[in-house]
Structure 1
Amino acid sequence: MITSPFLGELIGTMVLILLGNGVVANVLLSKTKGNNGGLIAITAGWGFAVTMGIFIAQKFGSPGAHLNPAVTIAMAVKDNNFSNVLPFISAQLLGAILGATLVWLHHLPHWGATNDQGAKLAAFSTSPAIPNAPANLISEIIGTLVLLIGVIALYAEAGSGMAPLLVGVLVWAIGLSLGGTTGYAINPARDLGPRIAHTILPIAGKGGSDWGYAWVPVVGPIVAALIAGGILNGFGF
């Protein structure tokens, strides 16, 4: 079996987005069996998606299973080693585009059956409940900081066997507690890759991709990654 860190990050992120954005599509698109399933279904689905993405990334050759540029950047700052930043982020972004494309294919008849263009975009990328760039940025920074510090703590305390399951619980908790403001991207690739896919795919009846907001779920998690990496380095984690 061919494995590599690049392949692991690509396939793991692809699965993360397929299952994560898949649950959003299942809840929001018309005439699906999960239509109107609500916030609990979406947050739980994303938590499970993260767990499965981690396990699959590890199997395909990425033992760290970052699946998130914020994790990659935070670890690079923490360890003062930036050699993985470009290849990992490239793999994560490509995997996110592929995962979003699979979500589109899987729900192919439902795009035309859905009139709400906002719901279609939400099945790809995030948007704020109340558009306010400074507040939205703060939300993304706080949510990502909880994720990054939590991931480090879980792997230190729970070990590599249980940690992926608990990271899924952590993401579920972030979604339930902090996700109502911006949709908790907390991962630049998770938002940017699917937004690119939304832009280029022939989605029936789609609207715009809201590129005016797109910088927030990219910049916020990166700022959080720099802060978290500095904290972890300073405390010797």
Structure 2
Amino acid sequence: MAIQISPSILSADFARLADEAAVVASSADWLHVDVMDNHFVPNLTLGLPVVESLRKAAAVPLDCHLMIEDPDRWAPDYAEVGAGSVTIHAEAAKSPIRTLRTIRSAGARAGLALNPATSVDVYADLLAEVDMLLVMTVEPGFGGQPFLDLMLPKIRRARELISTRDTDVWLQVDGGVSDETIERCAEAGADVFVAGSAVYKSADPAAAVDALRAQAQRVTAVGV
């Protein structure tokens, strides 16, 4: 499986978002944008106008992760302003199938995110409606949290469910991904990795992306 790295601008300098996007443009596959509303999660970050502006400035496609209370209302708008991928939370969506289909019809990849306490099996039947399944490896809301090792069996279970279906669904992990944890995630079956502090708190963010990718590729190459 192809390894993809999505640096999270939650750990970047918000006063220099365009510059921070450019720093990883040569190495990243996506730019992960955490949208938080201080309702679904206890934090407030950025919203649609900033995403629209960033899309015009960034050379890397945007991977928008909506940690918001009403994704059914707002998710299609993020696709329409040019986000390459829009992920909604299963716990927040009232009409997930309709919303996922609307995201796709607007031209973006549709993702479904699961909080740590949410069972992946409950949403197995929705895999045909998604392009990416996101397993949160921390509680959503804040960057810099330590990785939850107890999510590794859940990642493995998600990979099992994806593998039993005739569908090409990416398996993303978000939260605490670093040079100390990415290999365990890759071994469990993840192929898209969100990394915030591990990238933007390093001296060379682009080199950090390359190093993380190499670590994950080593694990998948040997078929661990």
Please state which structure has a larger fraction of its residues in helix: 1
Q: Which gives a bigger RCO, structure 1 or 2 (Cα 8 Å, sep 6+)? A: 1
Larger fraction in strand: 2
Structure ID, larger Rg: 1
- Interval containing the TM-score (normalised by the shorter chain): under 0.3
Q: Give me the TM-score of the superposition, normalised by structure 2.
A: 0.27
Task: Name the TM-score, length of structure 1 as normaliser.
Answer: 0.26
